Structures are given as C-alpha cells and as structure tokens.
Amino acid sequence: MSKARDIASAAPAPSTVSATELGYLDGVSSGIQTQIDGKTAKNTLTTTGDIYYASSANTPARLGIGSNGNVLTVASGVPSWAAPAGGGKVLQVVMGTTTTGVANSTTTFEDTNLTASITPSSATSKVLVMAMKGSISKTAANAVNEIQFRLMRGATEIGGRVSGLYTNTAIINAQTAAIYNYLDEPATTSSTTYKTQFRNTNNSAAVACQNNSEQSTIILMEIGA
C-alpha cells in the first residue's frame, strides 16, 4: 500500500481525519510545502488600493495607496507614489470678471472691483496674472490726466505700475482699454487673492473703469515649477 488512498481504505481513519481527507493527499508532489511557502499572506495588504511589490528577490512587500492625483513612480529602486511633475504645465485656471463701474478723483489707489482668488497646489508654482480693464476713461480737465493701475496680491503691491490712459491735452471723455500681465511667485499653498487698483496720478479729475457696464476680466493660471 504505497498510495494514500490505499492506506485510507485499509485502515480506520483517526478520529480527527476522515478517509476522504487522507485521499486528498494522493498524487501530491514532494514540493507541496515549497508551493505553500511561496504564497503571499493576504494580510500583507491592509487598505483598499494597496499593491504588492518585490522589496527584494522573492520578498513581497506592501505599497500603501497614494494620495488623490498621485502617480506611480520609482525612487531608490522601488515603486512609490508622488505628485505629478509640474514642469511648466498649466495646473489650474481661475477667472474673475466685473461689469460694475467705478470712478476715482484722487491720487490714492482704490479698488477697480476686479478680483479673483486661487489656491496653488504647490508652493513652488508660479501664478500668471492676466488682467484686461474694459472701458477706462478720463473726463475733460487739465492736460496731464493719467489713469494708473497696480496689481495687488492680498495687501502687497506686485509688479510695476502701468498707465492705461494719458493725455497731454485737455480732451473730453477719452476712453480705451488696458491690459496688465504679470508672472508672480506667491510661494504658498493657501488661497491667494489678486486684484487691481487705480488712481489719477496728477490731479482731482475723474478717471473710471467699466464705463457703460463693460466687462473687465482677470485670469489666474497656476504654472507648475
């Protein structure tokens, strides 16, 4: 009786093992323990989204699930999760608009009502600010009326000031549009507000934005480092 099934048929089975169970051993190779040892325990993975990888030859290991938006990469010879490379790519775009007219008859900067906020995904990102002021104007006054703009990040002035309209003669109701572009480095991942302000640089004559409810637009683009 060289086979397990013959043994199972010829002798009473132990009380804890049935003849059928002994029969299962028939034909099993001597390498069964090696096969069993090669199985990876299910409890290696603990969280939905975990994956297996080989930390060394014949050594399975767990790579925990990454964060939303992460990509699978390789670091020091093993797989890992990381944020996608930004590399000059546009990561997000935010736009703000206004059609609310506003006038200023002083040399003090006042808000133009044009504003937008963005939350950078990385502190190394840059923010490209593109503002278009619709229907800016000056009233008839002396010969040196000038409407000047500046860009604000929160309470901080950034970029150089620009003049949107200037005349050296007292003409009536001069009107045009103005464009302001600036590449900022806010160095933050907190919500950041940008806005434009304006003034008359020389006298008390009125200068204005968004005349006749014409639209002004500000676009914020996060650029990956």
pLDDT tens profile 170-218: 666 667 778 889 999 999 999 999 999 999 887 767 888 998 899 999 9
The confidence score (pLDDT) of residue 9 equals 58
Contact 96, 186 (CB under 8 A): no
Query: Domain range holding 28?
Result: 1-39
Residue % of the chain over a pLDDT of 70: 75
Q: Are residues 219 and 123 in the same domain?
A: yes
The confidence score (pLDDT) of residue 19 equals 66
Q: Are residues 100 and 186 in the same domain?
A: yes
Q: Are residues 140 and 197 in the same domain?
A: yes
Q: Which CA distances in Å does 55 have to 37, 81, 121, 222?
A: 17, 15, 31, 37
Is pLDDT larger for residue 45 or for residue 3? 45
Question: Considering its fold, how many domains does the chain have in total?
Answer: 3
The confidence score (pLDDT) of residue 220 equals 98
Q: Are residues 181 and 113 in the same domain?
A: yes
Q: What is the pLDDT of residues 29-71, one digit of tens each?
A: 656 656 666 666 767 787 887 887 777 777 788 888 888 888 8
Region 160-178 average pLDDT = 75
Q: Are residues 4 and 97 in the same domain?
A: no
Contact 169, 224 (CB under 8 A): no
With CA atoms as reference, report the closest residue to 96 among 193, 187, 6.
Answer: 193
Residue % of the chain over a pLDDT of 90: 36
- Residue ranges of alpha helices (H) inside 46-198 are none
* Residues pairing with 97 in the sheet: 217
pLDDT exceeds cutoff 90 at 126:
yes
Q: Are residues 156 and 182 in the same domain?
A: yes
Residue 103 has a CB neighbour count (10 Å cut-off) of: 15
pTM to 2 decimal places = 0.62
Is pLDDT larger for residue 67 or for residue 167? 67
Q: Are residues 141 and 189 in the same domain?
A: yes
Q: Are residues 203 and 170 in the same domain?
A: yes
The confidence score (pLDDT) of residue 49 equals 78
What gap in Å lies between CA 54 and CA 41, rounded to an integer?
14
Please provide residue 66's backbone torsions phi and psi, each rounded to the nearest 5 degrees.
-85, -175
Residue 95 has a CB neighbour count (10 Å cut-off) of: 11
Residues contacting 40, CB < 8 A, separation 6+: 52, 60
Q: What is the pLDDT of residues 133-152, one digit of tens each?
A: 888 887 776 667 788 899 99
* Residues pairing with 110 in the sheet: 198
The confidence score (pLDDT) of residue 21 equals 64
Q: pLDDT grade, residue 1 (50/70/90)? A: very low
What gap in Å lies between CA 120 and CA 223, rounded to an integer?
9
pLDDT exceeds cutoff 80 at 84:
no
**Which domain CATH number covers 132?**
2.60.120.1340
